[in-house]
Amino acid sequence: MLTDWLRRRWRPAPPPAPPLSPLDFTAPDVVQDPYPYFARLRREEPVHRGAGGAWLIARHADVQAALADPRLGNAPAPYAVIAPRNRTRYLCAEVAGNTLPFIDGARHAALRRTLAQAWAAQLRETPPDIDAHARRLWAACPARGQFDLLHDFATPLAVTVIGEVLGVPVAAREALQADARHFLYLFTAMPSHAVREATDAALGRLRHGFAHLLDGAAGPGLIRRLGGAAAQTLDREVLLDNLALLWADGIGNVDVGIAAAFAALLRHPEQWQALCAQPDLSPAAAGECLRFEAPAQFIGRVVQEDFDWHGQTLRRGQAVLLLLASANRDENRFPAADRLDIRRPDTGALSFGRGHHSCLGAALARGQLAAALQSAAERTPRLHLTQATVQWQVRPGHRWPHALPVTVP
């Protein structure tokens, strides 16, 4: 017994953790579960140089401050494929230079004001019946026994809602939907020349498709609304590219966000059952799921002038990635941050950014997620994941499941 006591008493200290390696968003373990890596960044190196050379900002307070910091701009880094120097070479660079997320200053303010006013007026005067769409689409799914919640429910819901808001005819939606995913490559590193070429081709088709709709818009919708007064003040290609942005973002981050939320809840069955017992908690549950599994892991900025931050020197022209997903799991802002809690008070998740560059469609996206959760919780409490492990796409900057097979016994 004395020997056992001495062994316990003098047990050697565990070896120190190895130094942080540059974080690689394409590493398989990071793709599958980035949150332990984010937690270590917050503890040890809140301003970290990632594997691609960009600075990663990990803590909630720092990310929130950076979103409003004029020393960090939105125009792409000089070496990026979508940088202004490539406008005449690649369509993706031209489109980036025309759209809200990649411009600053007075030009951004004027364009956002035009789009935001039209967006708000459209939703105020002709709001989509999101609840009815969600109920209709969900009613067709559980009867199958097994279905893919992402592709059979979430994507059709997102396409239906943004199509109705913009005024995209049903017959035109399938072709435009096929190109929407490529638009969102503007928000991450192009993985290959082939993807860049495919993205340019898709952007060209989106421009052509929205030009056709803009010229022939007869029904209600944002396209017709912007085809009036806004068409007199905006360059035509700027208008077309921002319509494509609203379309692509209204599908590509919404449907995967819905799927990721269901994945989180079904992997925490006590939370799913709590929601099924009180479906009116769906708006709060939607906010918590967006905090817990933000579909956009980071947003990019570019250093405008040299400055020091947490012992690191950030140089003009360097890329900075604001880790929204890490900020949303910051224990200093969210108690028990790694625990899903649908009754958690709204305490400042940054899933849609903050300030002048926040997501224009954030409220619409939240509304779709809440409607999706409520439709399922009211009708299908025995819903569960078909596979224990969710497979996530290798797509830096995006937390997107490949699919979400579910079963209704």
The pTM score is 0.93
Does residue 314 sit within a domain?
no
Residue % of the chain over a pLDDT of 70: 94
Q: Which two tokens stand for residue 271?
A: 């939370």
Given a contact cutoff of 8 angstroms between Cβ atoms, the answer to whether 125 and 269 are in contact is: no
Given a contact cutoff of 8 angstroms between Cβ atoms, the answer to whether 322 and 57 are in contact is: yes
Q: Which residue has the higher pLDDT, 227 or 327?
A: 327
pLDDT above 90 for 121: yes
Q: Which two tokens stand for residue 19?
A: 């130094």
Largest interatomic CA distance in the chain: 89
pLDDT, one tens digit per residue, over 173-214 is 999 998 998 999 999 888 899 999 999 999 999 999 999 999
pLDDT above 80 for 369: yes
Please report, for the domain that includes residue 150, its CATH number: 1.10.630.10
For the stretch 107-118, what's the b/e string if a residue is b when 16 or more beta carbons lie within 10 angstroms of its beta carbon?
ebeebbebbeeb
Does residue 344 sit within a domain?
no
Residue range of the domain that includes 244 = 74-296+351-407
* Interatomic CA distance for residues 366 and 132, integer angstroms: 15
Which string of DSSP letters, residue by residue, matches 272-304?
A: HHHHHH-GGGHHHHHHHHHHHT-SB--EEEEES
Does residue 8 sit within a domain?
no
Q: What is the pLDDT of residue 357?
A: 86
pLDDT above 90 for 41: yes
Does residue 302 sit within a domain?
no
Does residue 316 sit within a domain?
no
pLDDT, one tens digit per residue, over 70-116 is 999 999 988 899 999 999 999 999 999 999 999 999 999 999 999 99
Domain count, the chain: 1
Cα 364 → chain centroid: 13
Average pLDDT over the chain, rounded to an integer: 93
* Interatomic CA distance for residues 241 and 102, integer angstroms: 12
Q: What is the pLDDT of residue 3?
A: 56
Q: What is the pLDDT of residue 79?
A: 86
Q: Which residue has the higher pLDDT, 222 or 233?
A: 222
Contact partners, residue 303, CB within 8 Å, separation at least 6: 55, 71, 72, 73, 314, 315, 316, 317, 318, 319, 320
* Interatomic CA distance for residues 155 and 164, integer angstroms: 14
pLDDT above 60 for 21: yes
Which string of DSSP letters, residue by residue, matches 63-121?
A: HHHHTT-TTEE-SPPTTSTTSGGGTTT-HHHHHHHHSGGG--HHHHHHHHHHHHHHHHH
pLDDT above 90 for 33: yes
Does residue 42 sit within a domain?
no
Rg (CA), the chain: 22
The count of residues in the chain is 409
pLDDT above 90 for 374: yes
Does residue 81 sit within a domain?
yes
pLDDT above 70 for 247: yes
pLDDT, one tens digit per residue, over 310-346 is 999 999 999 999 999 999 999 999 999 999 999 999 8
- Nearest to 122, CA basis, from 234, 232, 213, 224: 224
Does residue 315 sit within a domain?
no
